[in-house]
A and B are shown apart, each in its own frame.
Chain A
């Protein structure tokens, strides 16, 4: 009997959502539009690869190779140095994409028995474009090697690569996890807060609370349909990111979806709590914006790196669910790691979900003032 009551209630919620076509369309399109807008706005251009050259003993071969990079029209040498310590700061500030480090005596090695060595370091905070840079670089070097070999007999250039991951750099890839976090909090917290406060405003909640439906069932009934919508949003965002920007997906899709459900539950509970504490739809909407959307965008590390925040602000980031979810989503999507690495963040989110859901259910005790 209780199950039927809940089912009747969920069906009602689904009808509310499906019948409000405009809102539904906006909600479904949002991840797509956001991924495309953010993606293009932040896209790095592969036609302008900024290169740092470290050439301790410039000779004819190293200079020749540099001029080949320049003439390929894809590369721009931002700086040349004799020591490699300039690479790190340039990468960190996002002033260079790739570094070419020649061994001393490169030209002489080309003719000797020892191979000529060159190190390629790539800023792979965006692993996809990083790989593209690397491939272009290798192509230039191997065509030079092929020409030399054809003219002078076998020469050996050994390239060594280092992919540098720089988390402070923004890119499409880093943004997609953040976007998912933002879209989920928007759909879950904002929409539940609105839908619940609407029932409060119209007086229908009172009638529900007088019915045998338990407050917990009302919450669950509200939450289930939005969980489905949130699921669709995650898939859309991932598909858009993959189809339009070829954002890689290294880890388990299933794990990401499961983590998204966890994060959505946290957001939904926040939405319920906001609705419980506000008395109109408008107030609930503003509350959800201020209480969930802004922190999710600003304090989560999505736009502003947490590492560069003032120390007094740091404790506040710990209570922002998006902060944890973004670490998880970036880990799964970009690094391909699983729960063995992300268990701590997952635990934090689970803990938040438990506490907030319990608080949300308590907040809808029928004894209202």
Chain B
């Protein structure tokens, strides 16, 4: 704890993505009445990395992500996303990020093509860009023959992959994924991570929350949240070494055991 805090203190208080940080948060806090959902978290996400935001249910992951994407106002602290202040520059942030919420974010009564067109339109793409990206996306996903099917009729795994691709339709600098693989089978999860890597390889920063610890191993760096605080932060290898653990799962169990608040919230 002290060593990671010291390490973070060395990091300059940047405001621009040019400095290499896609996200930086300093003492970001959110209270709901007396309950502190997110308690002074401080971390940075480097541009182009896959950053895993881990924690048990109720640890404060979703609250944190909501503050970063502008759905919730922070009670305290500062944060920048793509170089913009989350309090005052939400407009600019929105144009530069993609967001896939915990719940399925596409419209079941629209076809695959119509969903892509909708989000393309909302993000201000031209009809030409939309047409071109639709074709590319359908090719990558192998959905070309299903372009005119209602999304409701697609299997869950395909829906998730499609939702991810749609969140990237405007080629955002950063994409926020809130438990994107919930309820999906292992094979689809694997395919989903391939999509994440492809996006990261193209330079998109990926901020992903999950409670599947095996997925944490796929991330460049991870943070583990316990009771609203960041209990550990580093590469999966660093953390395993530090805690003398076999896997990230072990690290997580060790950290969570120290927790006292239990199942709150």
Contact = CB atoms under 8 A, between A and B. Distances in A.
Contact of A206 (B101, B110, B120): B101
A54 to B, nearest CB: 66
B43 interface: no
Interface in B182-218: none
Given A8-B118, A368-B71, A207 B101 contact: yes
Interface stretch (A12-20, A97-105, A287-295, A317-325): A12-20
B110 A207 contact: no
A211 B95 CA distance: 7
A220 interface: no
Interface residues of A, number: 28
B38 to A, nearest CB: 14
B69 A210 contact: yes
Given A12-B118, A210-B97, A367-B71, A204 B124 contact: no
Interface string B92-116: 0011010111111111011000100
Contacts of B259: none
A367 B124 contact: no
Contact of B121 (A8, A20, A368): A8
B122 A367 contact: no
A204 B100 CA distance: 10
A206 B71 contact: yes
B72 interface: yes
B114 A15 contact: yes
Contact of B94 (A9, A210, A368): A210
Contacts of B71: 206, 209-210, 366-368
Contacts of A86: none
Interface in A276-322: none
A208 interface: yes
Nearest to A206: B101
A12 B107 contact: yes
Contact of B122 (A211, A366, A368, A369): A211
B102 A208 contact: no
Interface in A115-149: none
B99 A4 contact: no
A210 B91 CA distance: 9
Contacts of B123: 5, 211-212
A8 B120 contact: yes
Contacts of B221: none
B123 to A, nearest CB: 6
B117 interface: yes
A11 interface: yes
Contacts of B110: 12, 15-16, 19
Nearest to B73: A367
Interface string B54-80: 000000000000000111110000000
B109 A16 contact: yes
A212 B105 contact: no
A210 B95 CA distance: 9
Nearest to B150: A19
B119 interface: yes
A368 B72 CA distance: 6
A161 B114 CA distance: 65
Given A4-B124, A16-B107, A211-B123, A9 B118 contact: yes
B119 A211 contact: yes
A304 to B, nearest CB: 40
Interface centre among B32, B102, B105 (most CB of A within 10 A): B105
A9 B109 contact: no
Interface of B: 32, 69-73, 90-91, 94-95, 97, 99-107, 109-110, 114, 117-124
Given A5-B121, A5-B122, A204-B107, 17 more contacts: A5-B123, A11-B118, A12-B110, A20-B109, A204-B103, A206-B71, A206-B101, A206-B103, A210-B70, A210-B94, A212-B91, A212-B94, A212-B95, A366-B71, A367-B73, A368-B71, A369-B72
15 contacts: A4-B121, A7-B121, A8-B117, A11-B117, A11-B121, A16-B110, A203-B102, A203-B103, A203-B105, A210-B69, A210-B99, A211-B122, A366-B90, A367-B72, A369-B32
